[in-house]
Amino acid sequence: MGEFIAGLLIGLGVVGIAGGAYLTYLRWKSRTGARVRMLAKQYQAMTDSAGRDIPMELLAQPEFISSRMEFRKIEAIEAELTGEADRVVAQKLLKDFFKMDDPWVKARAAKALYPMDRKSAFAELKVLAQSNSPFVQIPGIWALGELGSESALELLMSLVWSKSPEVQQAVIRCLVQMETKQQIPPEYRPKVKRLLKELRYKTDWIL
Amino acid sequence: MPKKCLIVDDNPETVDIVSFILKKAGYEVLTAFDGEQGLNQAKGSLPDLILLDLMMPVMDGYTMNQHLKEDPATKNIPVIIMTAKGGMEPMFENTKGSPIQGYLVKPFSQKELLKRMDDLLGKA
């Protein structure tokens, strides 16, 4: 009799633990589902704005369709994880994009990371911008132009005499846009002005 | 008879260089350094084509373009926008009756400029 009661109690205990675990699983699943649905909704809402900072002529190319999906994720992280407590999560998620192959995705993630972790973001952009391939350099240059910081400006100016016309054009475009938007720090303005003047007369570019 | 081109840009160096390139290519060149000057030049000289910067003092290129299209005398003059800011083409596409014929984002090459102009003016 005693053995029967003990067995019954153990059985009930196992059922209780399993039931509790199942309920916890259902609760987690429901929360995750809601989170996924919310993010999906945000991605949908961001369709028009995703990658808005990337030059339109590049976005129009078919190979950018997959990148745009990643841009949406990055924008969702930027928009959603803004609180102090979320910053660690946001940094981790953004740094994960650095492992991807697409240099545009890396550059976009670095741009988003910059306000939270300047050192890591700039290091990633420096690697991109100083690559041997213009295909990799151009996204890095674009993001440096978006940062508009002194270190970004220094790096851009060091690349302005690149032998690749595409890279040179990208660097000049950044400098001209930074000048137009008055983003150049005052102490750098005369230097940039001189450089642009030199470029006007020494290259075939009209700027 | 050389084709007449009006350059409107607030940067004197850019105007200087583009003038040189166009003169060398056989164009007659007129210049202006803001939208208001450009509009007066366009109305007075009726050029065959206008190269127009967007960000300028006194009157910006967008406003100048609006005035051009309101005037029957200038509304059909083709305009090529030269700007530092990309992605603004839709602003002009949505403008009813806009004479915008081209959009060049700075920096662009001399070759690209001349090709665009020759295509528009049928010089080939």
- Rounded CA gap, B52 and B106, in Å? 12
User: Pick from B14, B86, B87: which is nearest to A200 by CB?
Assistant: B14
pLDDT of residue A39: 39
pLDDT of residue A78: 85
Confidence of residue B95 (pLDDT cuts 50, 70, 90): low
Is the pLDDT at B88 greater than 70, yes or no? Answer: no
Whether the CB of B105 is below 8 Å from some CB of chain A: the reply is yes
- pLDDT tens-digit profile of B2-48? 899 999 999 999 999 999 999 999 999 999 999 999 999 999 999 99
Is the pLDDT at B111 greater than 60, yes or no? Answer: yes
- pLDDT tens-digit profile of B31-44? 999 999 999 999 99
Whether the CB of B111 is below 8 Å from some CB of chain A: the reply is yes
Cβ neighbours of A201 in B, within 8 Å: 13, 17
Continuous segment of H or E residues that includes residue A115: none
Domain boundaries defined on chain A: 65-202
Average pLDDT over residues A92-99: 93
Cβ neighbours of A207 in B, within 8 Å: 14, 84, 106-107
Confidence of residue A26 (pLDDT cuts 50, 70, 90): low
- Rounded CA gap, A112 and A114, in Å? 6
Query: Count of CB atoms within 10 A of residue B53's CB?
Result: 25
Confidence of residue B122 (pLDDT cuts 50, 70, 90): confident
Strands (E) in chain A, as ranges, are 205-206
Minimal-distance CA residue of chain A relative to B54:
A180
Minimal-distance CA residue of chain A relative to B83:
A207
Minimal-distance CA residue of chain A relative to B113:
A206
Whether the CB of B107 is below 8 Å from some CB of chain A: the reply is yes
Among A158, A122, A162, which Cα is nearest to A140's? Answer: A122
Average pLDDT over residues A97-106: 92
Cβ neighbours of A193 in B, within 8 Å: none
Highest mean pLDDT among A3-7, A27-31, A86-90, B23-27: B23-27
Whether the CB of B90 is below 8 Å from some CB of chain A: the reply is no
pLDDT of residue A27: 60
Average pLDDT over residues A138-164: 93
Question: Tokens standing for B22?
Answer: 């166009």
User: Pick from A56, A169, A180: which is nearest to B87 by CB?
Assistant: A56
